[in-house]
């Protein structure tokens, strides 16, 4: 189970990489493993400000569709275009090529978990 120490996490299994006032967001290795083979990522919130806890998109696996929850408030700047044709990148490289959105932060980040707190949450 890969849980990089340099990232922040949510109880909804998203990861966040903060660089200045911009953040990259994706789902964790644990989440993609639980979902199984991902076949489609649907995110159409580019240009919108999405509040913490609101849905910013969905991810579809072979057997289920799961909502994606905004880990922190911010404006969605970019969606990973690679996922349009290659949604399996989320399974193959959740913390790299499988990232989902980039946002401009507009809210607090203190609700995010450290890697150790996330490991405790998932029992690893």
**Could you list the pLDDT tens digit for every one of the 124 residues in the chain?**
789 999 999 999 999 999 999 999 999 999 999 999 999 999 999 999 999 999 999 999 998 999 999 999 999 999 999 999 999 999 999 999 999 999 999 978 889 999 999 999 998 8
Instruction: Confirm or reject CATH 2.40.50.100 for domain 12-109, answering yes or no.
Output: yes
CA distances from 56 to 14, 23, 43, 49, 114 (A): 12, 14, 6, 10, 22
Residue 31 CA to residue 68 CA, distance in Å, equals 11
What backbone phi and psi angles, to 5 degrees, belong to 97? -65, -15
pTM equals 0.94
According to the model, what pLDDT value does residue 107 have?
A: 78
């Amino acid at each position: 189970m890969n849980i990089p120490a340099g990232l922040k996490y949510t109880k909804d299994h998203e990861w966040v990489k903060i660089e200045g006032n911009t953040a990259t967001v994706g789902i964790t290795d644990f989440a993609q493993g639980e979902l199984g083979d991902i076949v489609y990522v649907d995110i159409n919130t580019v240009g919108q400000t999405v509040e913490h806890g609101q849905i910013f998109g969905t991810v579809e696996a072979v057997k289920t569709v799961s909502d994606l929850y905004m880990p922190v408030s911010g404006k969605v700047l970019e969606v990973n275009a690679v996922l349009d044709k290659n949604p399996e990148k989320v399974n193959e490289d959740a913390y790299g090529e499988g990232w989902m959105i980039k946002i401009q932060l507009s809210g607090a980040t203190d609700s995010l978990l450290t890697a150790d707190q996330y490991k405790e949450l998932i029992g690893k």
